[in-house]
Structures are given as structure tokens and as C-alpha cells.
Amino acid sequence: MRRYHAPGRVNLIGEHTDYNAGFVMPIAIAMGCDIRVSPSTRSVLHLTSAQFPGEMTFPLDVIPTMRRTGAWVDYILGVAREIHALGIELKPMKLHVDASVPTGSGLSSSAALEVSSALALLDGHELPKLELARLCQRAERNFVGMPCGIMDQYASVHGEEHKAILLDCRSITHQLVPIPDGAEIIVANTMVKHELGSSAYRQRVQECHEALSHFPGKEALRDVTLGDLERTASQIPEIPLARARHVILEDLRVQNFLEAAGRGDLHQMGKLMVESHRSLQHDYEVSCEELDFMVDTALTLDGVYGSRMTGGGFGGCTVSLVAPEAVERFEHGLSARYHDRYNLAPAIYRCTPSAGARRVA
């Protein structure tokens, strides 16, 4: 029996910039998705998950022409279709999914599922890492129907221990960035997910297109400078203007975060994370009350360099940089205050940059 693992990710900074050809800085995390492969006697793909009930069986010859089902299996079926489209034969198998990364919390359980299932379905057929990430992105875009950027799948494939991944989403190349000593990466889960999430995501993609249409000749918001934006601001409606302002400033923040990390300047890194959050809160409008409360609370606690929402927004997780000696008190303080306010116990994870997708058995 073979087993594959693909990690989830937490994005340190650079939110909603990937689909604007900009910069992001995720780390792959230890939590992820495991897939156990066993043989099937019939010519089918048989799918089960420890996190979702039911078992589903799909004849291999039907998969390439199927429509999406609306269920979790779509992530795997989408990957299977993309593998088939490359001319690689799908083999009969049983896949059992078991994830340690929470689902729907902004830590990209979806990319972890896609990437681990791609490795399983490829069955030893080697694809270059970038091709693997792109195949999984196409599965989510073309079949699941989410117009996602490349960040999640890229991070899940390219993760490295002790390093963050500075990804340029235009050239789709990355540089590894050591995280300075003296801070831990603490992720806190609001335990809420507002329904608005996926429709708002599509809407933001659309609003970025609208903003871009005011800059003829520019291919993506990545190419629009702050000066360009200021000169054109009076002609752009308020909402697309605010979205563009977020994307342009967020790209600059990623660059500044990289420089600060190089100097080991945790205070500056934290400050940029807070600026990122405020921009997501007010200009990009993808935060929510619970995320704002969690960030605001984190910032009142000792030893916190910075805190922000991470992932698409409308619930899910925050990420904070916290001095190691303050972590325990931070966790207690944040949990208690969040619980008092929302009567929910937030899950808190200490995250370390971890290796990318691989066969584990």
C-alpha cells in the first residue's frame, strides 16, 4: 500500500495578490493531507475520506467527460481529468483521504487534497514540480470552478523546512527565505466560515479586472505602480480603486517583508503584517468581525510582533509572529478572550515551515 502526503500552507504576507501576478510569501506547514492508495479490482476510482462521510465510485472511462458533482470528490476528479488530458492513463485504485489540516479554514486543505491525490493518481509517473502545481491549479479552476491563483498548490509542492517561499506569481519562480530566529508562527482558527467566501472571491477577481481596465497596456495589477494609481484615481470607481490600492500596496509590503526578514527585523515584519490586515479589512473588504477581533486581541498581548488574517478571508485563521517565550501566554490569552466574546474555542497551531508533497510509504 502506498501513501502520499501534501502539506497545507499558511501565507505570511501577500494576500489576494497571486491572481494579480504579484508576490506572496507562504510556508508549507506540517499539517496536510494524506492519501492511502490500494488496488481496485474493477476499472474504477473509489474514493473515501476520514473527514467526510460516504464512499463514491467513478468508472475510469466516465471521468474525462463528467460534470462536477458539488461534493468534495470534485477536487480529486478534477485532478484525474487534468492527468487524463496530459495523455497519462488513469489506473483503477482506491484512495482513502485523511487530512490533519482543518478544512475550509484558509490553510488550503483543498490544495493539499489536490496535490496528494495528483501524486497518488500519477502512480509514480514523474512530473516536474511546477507542472504538478499547475495541474492542480487547473483542476480547481476548470473543474471545481474556483478561479484561484497558483499560491496554494505551489506552496504545497515546493515547501521546504525552515524556509518561507517568496513566490513571484508572474514568472512563477520562487526564492527561499529563512525565517529569522526569535519568533514563532502561530496560527489561530476563528472556527467560523462565512458563506460569502467563495462568491466574494470571484467578485474580488472581477473587481481587480475592472480596476485593471483603467490601465490600458498593463497586463495585471502587478504592473500598475502607486504613481499610476494616483494619476488615474479620479477616473476609477471607489470600489475597484480600493481593491487596486490593496493589491499594489500589498505587493510592496511583500518586498519590504522580504528585506526585513533578511535583516532579522521582526518588529518591521510584524508591522507589515498588521498593515496587510488593515488593508484587507478596509480596502479589500475580505475580513470579518471574528478575524478583526482576533487580530486586535493578539495585538494587545505581550511578545506579539504582528498579526493578520491569512487565506481568502471571511473566517478561517489569523497568523501571528510571537516571541517564543511569550507563546504559551499568548495562546491562553487569545483563547480566553475569543471564547468570552464568541463562545467558541479557537484551535491554535504552532506552525513551522515544512517539506513539500512527497511519497511517505
Q: Which of Mg ion, ligand ADP, none has residue 187 at its interface (CB below 5 to 8 Å by kind)?
A: none
Tracing cell 491572481 back to the chain, one arrives at 19
Length of the chain: 361
- Min dist. Cβ of residue 258 to Mg ion (A): 25
Binding site for ligand ADP (CB under 6 A): 33, 49, 51-52, 72, 75, 97, 99, 103-110, 113, 311
Question: Any contact of residue 110 with Mg ion (CB under 5 A)?
Answer: yes
Question: Any contact of residue 297 with Mg ion (CB under 5 A)?
Answer: no
Closer to ligand ADP at the Cβ: 33 or 247? 33
d(CA 136, CA 47): 18
152 counts as catalytic: yes
- Cα–Cα–Cα angle for 230, 172, 245, rounded to 5 degrees: 15
- Min dist. Cβ of residue 56 to ligand ADP (A): 11
- Min dist. Cβ of residue 259 to ligand ADP (A): 29
Stretch that binds Mg ion, among 101-109, 319-327, 337-345, 352-360 (CB under 5 A): 101-109
Q: Which of Mg ion, ligand ADP, none has residue 165 at its interface (CB below 5 to 8 Å by kind)?
A: none
d(CA 279, CA 50): 37
Q: For residue 193, give the 3-state DSSP assignment.
A: strand
Closer to ligand ADP at the Cβ: 20 or 108? 108
Angle between helices 73-85 and 109-122 (to 10 degrees): 40
Q: Which of ligand ADP, Mg ion, none has residue 236 at its interface (CB below 5 to 8 Å by kind)?
A: none
Q: For residue 132, give the 3-state DSSP assignment.
A: helix
Q: Residues 18, 34, 152, 283: which is the catalytic one?
A: 152
> Measuring CA to CA, which residue among 322, 29, 267, 343 is closest to residue 165?
29
**Phi then psi for 269, rounded to 5 degrees?**
-60, -45
Residue 296 CB partners (closer than 8 Å, separation 6+) = none
Q: Which of ligand ADP, Mg ion, none has residue 106 at its interface (CB below 5 to 8 Å by kind)?
A: ligand ADP
Contacts to Mg ion by CB under 5 A: 108, 110
Active site residues: 152
